[in-house]
A and B are shown apart, each in its own frame.
Chain A
Amino acid sequence: MKYLIASIGLNVVLQNCISLFFGDDTKIINTDEVAVGNQILGAYITTVQLVTIGASLLLFVSVNLFLHSTATGKSIRAVASNPDLCNIFGISSNKIILITFGIGSALAATAGIFSAMDTNMIPTFGFNLLLYGVVAMIIGGVGSTTWLIAGSLLVATAQNLAAYYIDTKWIDAVTYIILILFLSWNPLGFSGKRLKKVEV
């Protein structure tokens, strides 16, 4: 829990550093001329979006391979299931946690680049995207990499259906209503804890 609050603090710091150094105004990376995009199955998709889909599938598969076939990846999964036992077997859990934090941040940076190319960017634009990611992660199941796709698809589909049938401005509310409904259906989350116990 303390990591969550500390990371919120870190988010505030980084976000304000960005707006100190680069200003609060909207920035655009994509210098190409605005084009209609490629028509696929009757839908218009820009090249950037196609690249995003391809790159995220590639990253997803490679992260899965990394987690399941390399020694570091296996240690990451071992630390996730039992950090104390890992320390006994000579895997430093702190080191592994730092590595995962690094990999996670690198993946987040890639997502940031693609979404900045797709739309444009302001210092605060990461927070909302992160929150959608958190919702997808909780729905897909913490610690399960394959179900993440299902969670993300569900969240994204619900958002776009909400935009189509209700209004685009209710996207955030719909996302969180899904999360809260999900948590009220499965309140234990995936930690299996209903009550807090003192950590010794």
Chain B
Amino acid sequence: MEYVLHLLILIALYTLLSQSLNLSTGFTGLISLAHAGFYGIGAYTTAILSTQFGFSFWLGIPLAMLISGAVAYVVSLIALRTVEDYFIICTLGIQIILFSIMNNCMDLTRGPFGIPGIPSIYFFGLSLDSKISFLTLSLSFVAIVWFVLRNISKSGFGKTLIAISEDEIYSQSIGKDVYFCKIVSFTLSAMFAAIPGALYAHYISYIDPTSFTVNESILILSIVIIGGLGNLTGSFLAGAFLILLPEALRFLGMPNSIAANMRQIIYGVILVIVMMTGKNGVRELFSAKTKR
């Protein structure tokens, strides 16, 4: 039971991550490989605040979102002056710089030793250290973020973002500030990424830089692309699929070491197929097949 709850919590965290990336990648078309970096900023901010300064989770999470958003804002001012492939490589650079900071700033982050002993979350004096209560908390965050992102996508601003992802010159010609909208969507997406970071830090109670590598960014991006750009439900389903896949393989009798590699091989293959057929996510891939 604990095991199932653990998987559900992981699914909730990856849903938050992929849906927040979906705001910039899915709606605005800004493919970003820096998401694990912002996830890491969220985790490290709350971890440092709670272990060294005794801040509670509820104060840490808005601060984490603010710091992550501020970093993303500064970064996007530079990165968003480039387009397409250059933008992707720029975000990759940002991811590696953020990882270097987490891995090498010994005074601030304790480098590869990580930060242990992050306290569990208290909610009105009630400790949320059991798995079921933590799951409830993460699910409520998923519900809030999902609701907010749905409303953003339906608002005029969301429609502008979708227009930008389709044609930037046309959006600019009807008087939309493309550069500004891109900055806002990138910053918002990084702010939402700080939420699962903070939850992760308090859930595992120990963080180190290896959770926030380039590979993690690639995994989050694959979830978004496999689930379909701009499709929030798709992100949730793809995230659940990729989390449960190695567990399913393990039940089929595959050893642990091979199951992890198989998961990466499978999502790599799906990623290549989805990108090369030009379909928007796996759902479209299958629906096109059944139509023929």
Residues of A within 8 A of B (CB): 1-6, 8-13, 15-17, 19-20, 24, 127, 131, 134-135, 138, 167, 169-170, 172-173, 176-177, 179-180, 183-184, 187-189, 191, 193-198
Query: What are the residues of chain A within 8 A of B204 when measuring CB–CB?
Result: none
Please determine whether B172 and A6 come into contact, CB atoms closer than 8 angstroms.
no
**List of B residues within 8 angstroms of A198 by Cβ:** 166-167, 170
B62 within 8 A of A: no
Q: B199 an interface residue at 8 Å Cβ cutoff?
A: no
Given contacts A12-B267, A173-B100, contact A184 B81 (CB under 8 A): yes
CB distance from B251 to the nearest CB of A (A): 19
Q: Does B133 contact A (CB under 8 A)?
A: no
Q: Does B265 contact A (CB under 8 A)?
A: yes
**B209-220 interface bits toward A, Cβ cutoff 8 Å, 1 = contact, 0 = none:** 000001100100
With A5-B225, A13-B264 given, name 18 new contacts (CB 8 A): A2-B275, A3-B275, A10-B272, A12-B267, A13-B269, A17-B265, A20-B258, A20-B261, A24-B257, A167-B104, A173-B100, A188-B82, A191-B83, A191-B84, A193-B84, A195-B83, A196-B84, A197-B167
- Contact between B275 and A6, CB atoms less than 8 A apart: yes
- Expressed in whole angstroms, the Cα–Cα distance for A17 and B97 within the complex equals 28
Residues of A contacting B261 with CB < 8 Å? 16, 19-20
The 8 Å CB contact of B275, one of A9, A17, A19, A176, is: A9
* A–B Cβ pairs within 8 angstroms, 17 of them: A2-B275, A4-B85, A8-B271, A12-B265, A13-B268, A16-B264, A16-B265, A19-B261, A138-B89, A169-B103, A173-B96, A176-B97, A180-B79, A180-B90, A188-B82, A189-B85, A189-B86
Q: Cβ of A183 and Cβ of B78 under 8 Å apart?
A: yes
Q: Are B90 and A183 in contact (CB under 8 A)?
A: yes
B178 adjacent to A195 (CB under 8 Å): yes
Task: Find chain B residues with CB under 8 A from A17 CB.
Answer: 265
Total B residues in contact with A, Cβ cutoff 8 Å: 51
When A5-B225, A12-B264, A183-B81 are in contact, do A197 and B169 touch as well, CB less than 8 Å? yes
Q: Does B101 contact A (CB under 8 A)?
A: yes
Task: Check A183–B96 contact: CB distance below 8 A.
Answer: no
Min CB distance, A64 to chain B, in Å? 24
Instruction: Give A11 to B214 CA distance when docked, in angstroms.
Output: 12
CB distance from B243 to the nearest CB of A (A): 17
Residue from B78, B100, B222, B258 in contact with A9 in the complex, judged by beta carbons closer than 8 Å:
B222
> At the interface, is chain B mostly helix, strand, loop or mixed?
helix
Grouping DSSP codes into helix (H, G, I), strand (E, B) and loop, the A interface class, with mixed when no group exceeds half, is helix
- Point out the residues of chain B lying under 8 angstroms from A188, CB to CB: 82
Chain B residue with Cβ nearest A24 = B257
Return the chain A residue nearest B106 by Cβ: A169
- The verdict on B94 contacting chain A, using a C-beta distance below 8 Å, is yes
3 closest A-B pairs by CB: A9-B271, A176-B93, A13-B268
Q: In B4-56, which residues have CB < 8 Å from any A CB?
A: 29, 31
Contacts of A4 in B (CB 8 A): 85, 88
Would you give the shortest CB distance from B99 to chain A, in whole angstroms? 8
Q: Which residue of A lies closest to B165 (CB)?
A: A196
Of A6, A16, A176, A183, which contacts B82 at CB under 8 A?
Answer: A183
Give the CA-CA distance A184 to B82 in the complex, in Å.
Answer: 8
> With the chains together, A3 CA to B88 CA distance in Å?
12
Q: Which residue of B lies closest to A181 (CB)?
A: B78
Q: How far, in whole Å, are A179 and B79 apart by their CA atoms in the complex?
A: 11
Q: Is B92 an interface residue (CB 8 A)?
A: yes
> Are B92 and A131 in contact, with the CB atoms below 8 A?
yes
Q: How far is the CA of A5 from the CA of B120 in the complex (A)?
A: 38
Docked Cα-Cα span, A2 to B88, in Å, equals 11
Smallest CB gap from B29: residue in A: A196
Most chain B Cβ neighbours within 10 Å, of A169, A194, A195: A195
User: Are A9 and B97 closer than 8 Å at their CB atoms?
Assistant: no
B278 at the interface (CB under 8 A from A): yes
Query: What's the Cα separation between A134 and B225 when bound, in Å?
Result: 23
A170:B83 contact, CB within 8 angstroms: no
- A196 → chain B closest CB, angstroms: 5
Q: Would you call B168 an interface residue if the criterion is a C-beta within 8 Å of the partner chain's C-beta atoms?
A: yes
1/0 contact string of B231-272 vs chain A (CB within 8 Å): 000000000000000000000000001100110110111111
Q: Which residues of A contact B90 (CB under 8 A)?
A: 179-180, 183
Q: Does B276 contact A (CB under 8 A)?
A: yes
Residues of chain A with a CB closer than 8 A to B83's CB: 191, 193-196
In Å, the complex CA distance between A175 and B275 comes to 29
